[in-house]
Structure formats: C-alpha cells, structure tokens
Amino acid sequence: MPKIQLNGFLQEISNVQFVGANGTPKQEIILLVPGFTNNFGEKIGQDDLWKISILGESIDKFNLYERHAGSKVKTEVYISSRQYTSKKDNSIGYMVNVNLANIEFLSNGQRTHSNETPATETIADPNRLPDEYFENRASEEKDDLPF
C-alpha cells in the first residue's frame, strides 16, 4: 500500500463512530492542503481537501479532538483503491481509501503558546495532549509565519 506525505491544516475532526458488522471504531479528519503559489506568492493552484480515516486502535494512538482544528500538521497517509460493481446498475466504480499513518503537529490551532493550557482544560482532563508534546514543542524554533 503506497504511503504519501500531506502537509496542511486540520479543518475538521469527527467524533468516533462504530461502523460495519464488527462495530469497528472510525474517526475522520479533513485536511486542507493549500494550493501552489508562484514566485510572487500569487496562488496558482487549487486547495485540496482530503478526507482521512483513522481506524481501530489508531484512534487512541493519535488522540485527535475538535480542539486540534486549525493546527498546521505534517501527515503520512496510506492510500488504497478498489474496483467495485454497483448493485443498482452493474456499472463499475472505483473507491479510494486514505488512512492516517502518522501525524506531526507544527502548530496548534487554538493555543497561542505551545505550552499554554486552554482555559477550558484542566490537568486532570483525559483528553489533554501528553506532556511530552509540550516539552518537545518548547525547544523548537518559532517561525514568523502568520499561521
């Protein structure tokens, strides 16, 4: 299964759903990959929106919640494709699946400082990002980009 890197901004993070006959946990994120710009900074490419699935135990591994929306991230995703026959009219169709393999946060959308805990969150919050995340972020250089 091919793996590619997509860099962009988390737009949406869904709640966990249980799908299929076995009730497999599934979460989906929408990643905005900005379009290309020319040498003058003018946008010449269209933005891409990727719907990326997170399945099973990976949901706990990545620990993504709505508060991560707006974060700048680097992702690695697995891409697979299948052919299927429509039950309606026997026509042939193709389905592409995109599953999250890895995610690295470059900035967090709702936090002004990488080690600042949001006012709505407490230390005892089970949804809080692990302390290692903040320790690693504190040593990174800050860029002057507006996002």
- Residue 146, judged by CB atoms within 10 A of its CB (0-12, 13-18, 19+), counts as exposed
Whether 145 maps to a domain, the answer reads: no
Residue 146 lies in a domain: no
Residue 86 lies in a domain: yes
Q: Tell whether 51 is covered by a domain.
A: yes
Predicted confidence (pLDDT) per residue in 110-119, tens digit: 533 333 333 3
The predicted pLDDT at position 62 comes to 94
What is the reported pLDDT for 69?
93
Locus of tokens 């620990």: 63
Domain total in the chain: 1
Residue 104 within any structural domain of the chain: yes
The encoded tokens of residue 92 equal 């042939």
Q: What is the pLDDT of residues 34-67, one digit of tens each?
A: 998 888 888 888 999 999 999 999 999 999 999 9
Does 32 map to a domain?
Answer: yes
Can you tell me the distance from the alpha carbon of 93 to that of 81, in angstroms, rounded to the nearest whole number? 11
Parent domain of 72: 3-138
Question: For every residue of the chain, which 3-state class applies, written as one string?
Answer: CCEEEEEEEEEEECCCEEECCCCEEEEEEEEEECCCECCCCCECCCCEEEEEEEECCHHHHHCCCHHHCCCEEEEEEEEEEEEEECCCCCCEEEEEEEEEEEEEEEECCCCCCCCCCCCCCCCCCCCCCCHHHHHHHHCCCCCCCCC
Collect the ranges in the chain with pLDDT lower than 50. Answer: 111-129, 133, 137-138, 147
What is the CATH classification number for the domain harbouring 75?
A: 2.40.50.140
pTM: 0.68
Strand 72-85 and strand 3-13: pairing? antiparallel
Q: Which residues contact 14 (CB under 8 A, 6 or more apart)?
A: 27, 28, 29
| In-domain check, residue 38 | yes
Question: Does some domain include residue 26?
Answer: yes
